A and B are shown apart, each in its own frame.
Chain A
């Protein structure tokens, strides 16, 4: 089983739609959580950290469920510019290894 698993997609949604990505992690020692965004042929960049209480940044909401070992990213009112690959990232306690999921591709269409 992979340490971090994501649905590779692609998710094809119309502009204005709400889309949600889930990510599961296998190591209960996972301590820190992030979502990254990767545009085509570019390097991944941090989108937002994920806090235990959940957090929101504009149209983006991230949530953590430690009991079920998954994190989620919700994008409301999708824009064409949201088209990208979204990567789930966990950082382990002890050693602080950072583990990236393979990513979920999102295409937002007009």
Chain B
């Protein structure tokens, strides 16, 4: 069974540009989570999607947005990039059931120059 896949692995953008990050969950998983992890810091929750709907949002500005498609894959869009947006962006998927864990992709490392 394929795991959570994220693309691209690395992304370099300049300030003010837009970045689009993609995530394909494990088959059968309807929930997708996005996290930001700046170098040396902990996971910061960005967004949670389930069944195509945004369920919850972390404390990030509106230029961080995303969506979930009918096949449960997801996109994270970051507009008007700032240097501080440089981080590892991790996607996780899970089933909407008790006692089932979430699985992470390997992440997209975004560098804003």
Q: Give me the interface of A with B, judged by CB distance under 8 Å.
A: 8, 31-32, 34, 41-46, 49, 85, 87, 89, 91, 93, 95-103
Contacts and interface: CB of A to CB of B under 8 A. Distances in A.
Contacts, number: 64
A97 B43 contact: no
A29 to B, nearest CB: 11
Q: Which bracket fits the contact residues of B? A: 20 to 34
Interface string B81-101: 000000010101011111111
Interface of B: 31, 33, 35, 41-45, 48, 50, 55-56, 88, 90, 92, 94-107
Nearest to A2: B45
Given A8-B42, A97-B55, A102-B42, A46 B98 contact: no
B92 to A, nearest CB: 7
A100 B35 contact: yes
Contacts of A97: 48, 55-56
B98 A87 contact: no
Contacts of A101: 42-43
